[in-house]
């Protein structure tokens, strides 16, 4: 066999081997319908303009600010590990958690020394407190979290309170957590 024809056949054979998974997936996607997941918001707060108040477990110079659909929870000063600062909302949380059990929110923190914290209260005292997220992020990017509240035993009609905030992991001089696109959703698989 002529060497140039042999090279051409080798190139064709290698191309077929490399492209066969791509071709297989393309045919599979056409032949078998794929399911998709859609979330439908039953309650959402896209502005954070009303009903939020500041709370902390230690005396700190803290505040909350809402602008352009972003809730900022921040503090300055000598922050010790274990300091928690949150924005709390009690009003307007009447919806069916059996239907809208998926909490969806985007989060950004000031650094890995701060853990974003989300707490759900189903009643007025500590027996009804559920910490559904306590997480650090190693970058300054937005992260979308989807939390199935049923996993934490949260169901029924309405919430008592939701808290969005942060917990200081290491000593620091300032910390911040930002939240956007907060909603409680139902899930549809189509």
Please name which of 181, 126, 121, 186 lies closest in space to residue 153, comparing C-alpha atoms.
121
Cα separation, 152 vs 72, in Å, equals 26
Q: Is the pLDDT of residue 29 over 70?
A: no
Structure-derived torsion over alpha carbons of residues 29, 35, 41, 42, reported in degrees to the nearest 10: 160
Cα separation, 54 vs 63, in Å, equals 7
Beta strands in the chain (DSSP E): 37-45, 52-56, 61-67, 70-79, 84-89, 102-109, 114-121, 129-136, 143-148, 161-168, 172-189
What confidence score (pLDDT) does residue 50 get? Answer: 87
Phi-psi category of 51—alpha, beta or left, where left has phi over 0 and alpha has psi -120 to 50? left
- Over residues 161-187, mean pLDDT: 94
Residue 8 burial (CB < 10 Å; 0-12/13-18/19+)?
exposed
pTM value? 0.79
- Over residues 154-162, mean pLDDT: 90
What confidence score (pLDDT) does residue 92 get? Answer: 87
Contact 176, 65 (CB under 8 A): no
What confidence score (pLDDT) does residue 112 get? Answer: 92
Supply 7's token pair. 């090279």
What confidence score (pLDDT) does residue 15 get? Answer: 63
What is the average pLDDT value for the chain, to the nearest integer?
88
- Over residues 97-115, mean pLDDT: 95
Among the residue ranges 15-19, 50-54, 61-65, 103-107, the one predicted with the least confidence is: 15-19
What confidence score (pLDDT) does residue 27 get? Answer: 65
Q: Is the pLDDT of residue 163 over 60?
A: yes
Bridge partners, residue 96, by sequence: 157
């Amino acid at each position: 066999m002529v060497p140039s024809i042999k090279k051409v056949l080798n190139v064709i054979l290698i191309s077929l081997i490399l492209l066969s998974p791509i071709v297989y997936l393309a045919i599979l996607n056409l032949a078998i319908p794929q399911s998709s997941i859609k979330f439908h918001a039953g309650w959402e707060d896209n502005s954070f303009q009303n009903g939020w108040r500041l709370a902390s477990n230690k005396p700190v110079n803290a505040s909350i600010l809402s602008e352009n659909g972003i809730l900022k929870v921040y503090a300055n000063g000598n922050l010790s590990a274990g300091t928690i600062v949150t924005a709390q909302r009690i009003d307007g949380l009447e919806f069916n958690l059996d239907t809208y059990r998926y909490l969806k929110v985007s989060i950004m923190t000031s650094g890995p020394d701060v853990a974003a914290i989300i707490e759900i209260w189903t009643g007025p005292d500590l027996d009804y407190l559920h910490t559904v997220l306590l997480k650090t992020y190693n970058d300054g990017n937005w992260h979308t979290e989807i939390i199935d509240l049923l996993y934490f035993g949260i169901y029924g009609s309405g919430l008592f309170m939701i808290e969005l905030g942060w917990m200081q992991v290491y000593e620091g001089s300032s910390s911040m957590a930002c939240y956007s696109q907060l909603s409680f959703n139902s899930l549809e698989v189509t």
